A = this chain, B = another copy of it.
Amino acid sequence: MLSKNKIRFLAGLSNKKIRDRERLFLAEGTKLCSDLASVFPCRMILATPEWLAQHSLQKVEELIEVSESELRKVSNQKTPQGVLAVFEKTAQAYVDADLRQELSLALDGVQDPGNLGTIVRIADWFGIARIFCSEHCADAFSPKAVQASMGALARVQTYTVKLPEFLSDQASNLPLYAASMDGEDIYDSPLQAAGIVVMGSEGRGLSPEVDALISHKLLIPNFPKGSSSSESLNVSVATALICSEFRRRLR
């Protein structure tokens, strides 16, 4: 049975301010909740009797059995999947890791939470451990981003930073790459194993301060090259194409 207070509490977690204050976030679905539970402490689980009959649980502070219709009230999914969990966000302040041995991502104002979550999933696939997000990015812990990340948030660290300052500090040590229509064909460009790939926002691309710091601009060629096709690719698709090429070179 789900009290009105609980419904209000769970609805509140769609709001970034409340997520940040409470240091909590929501996730839904068996696979996703199980992946996240390997890293993030689970504060609360809501599950239907059918789901509970088929799954075993461990380490939950609070378990609430709910009906399908109660779950629908608090779910962010069109088709709720029998289980919704509240996790504690563990601290993710950036502690000045040495980035000179790895490929990292930076996002300059990626605003769609679905794109952000998809990029976290892509980073995980390509063995990228850290994503540095500007303050104008969508929140990686918003319900849509969490669902799109498909559990990759358990393996990829996301940090919110003042991006121009952060990249300016890194620029003396590391190449900074970005996709650009004026860039050099990525397949003809030398790519180093370590560096930061910076992706701009969906509508406006890179901000001028960040753009000025980029050392290597890369063109993802369309086909036939230079044809008048779509003017751009979705930011998560472009991220995948760039990461894939960096990793192909290391084979």
Contacts and interface: CB of A to CB of B under 8 A. Distances in A.
A130 interface: no
B127 A222 contact: yes
A247 B223 contact: yes
B121 A233 contact: yes
A86 B153 CA distance: 40
A223 B124 contact: no
A125 interface: yes
A212 interface: no
Interface in A119-146: 121-122, 124-127
Contacts of A150: 230-232
A240 interface: yes
A249 B167 CA distance: 34
A172 interface: no
A187 B250 CA distance: 12
Contacts of A187: 248, 251
Interface in A10-57: none
**Interface residue tally on A, bucketed by range:** 35 or more
A99 interface: no
Q: How many protomers of this protein does the assembly include?
A: 2
Contacts of A233: 121-122, 125, 240
Nearest to A222: B125
A234 B121 contact: yes
A229 B125 contact: yes
A247 B231 CA distance: 17
Q: Chain A binding site: helix, strand, loop or mixed by DSSP?
A: loop
A244 interface: yes
A234 B234 CA distance: 13
Contacts of A152: 229-230
A114 interface: yes
Contacts of A208: none
A110 B164 CA distance: 39
A151 interface: yes
A230 B124 contact: yes
A80 to B, nearest CB: 15
8 closest A-B pairs by beta carbon, nearest first, are A127-B223, A223-B247, A124-B230, A237-B240, A124-B229, A126-B223, A125-B222, A125-B230
13 contacts: A125-B222, A125-B230, A126-B222, A126-B223, A127-B224, A127-B227, A187-B251, A220-B244, A221-B251, A225-B251, A237-B237, A240-B241, A241-B244
